[in-house]
Amino acid sequence: MTNVPTIQDSDGHMLYKMKFWYLKKTPKVLEDIVTETKAQLEQYKELMGTYPTRVDGHQHVHIARHVPEVLAPLFQQIGVRHIRIPDQDPGELTWLDTTTIKRYKARYVAAVAARLI
């Protein structure tokens, strides 16, 4: 929605999955995340007449390292009351391949940390 090149690929699309997760969250990157999130929330309000009261970020980007700290004040300001935190212990997901389990374990730590914010 916005021109935030630090979190977009060369075609102008938002970074997907692991590219976003492994992106170093510099102050400029975090600023761009807030800018894009605000734009999406404003678009939601324009379409629905009100801000959302629940948030579930695509690919769990809202719990990536350092992101909850910058988004929590914004969510609180507009009245978000519920945020999905995907904190199921990956050890319970025995049917998944080892690569996926490793990725989920990394997210699990971030999810638990996000609950503290």
The tokens for 41 are: 């929330």
Q: Report the percent of the chain where pLDDT is more than 70.
A: 90
Tens of pLDDT along 32-48?
A: 999 999 999 999 999 99
| Rounded CA separation 95/111 (Å) | 21
pLDDT at 36: 94
Give the position of tokens 């638990």. Answer: 112
pLDDT at 117: 65
What SS3 state is found at 55? strand
Tens of pLDDT along 55-99?
A: 887 777 778 888 989 999 999 999 999 887 776 676 777 777 888
- Where are the chain's structural domains? 5-86
Residue 32 vs residue 108, higher pLDDT: 32
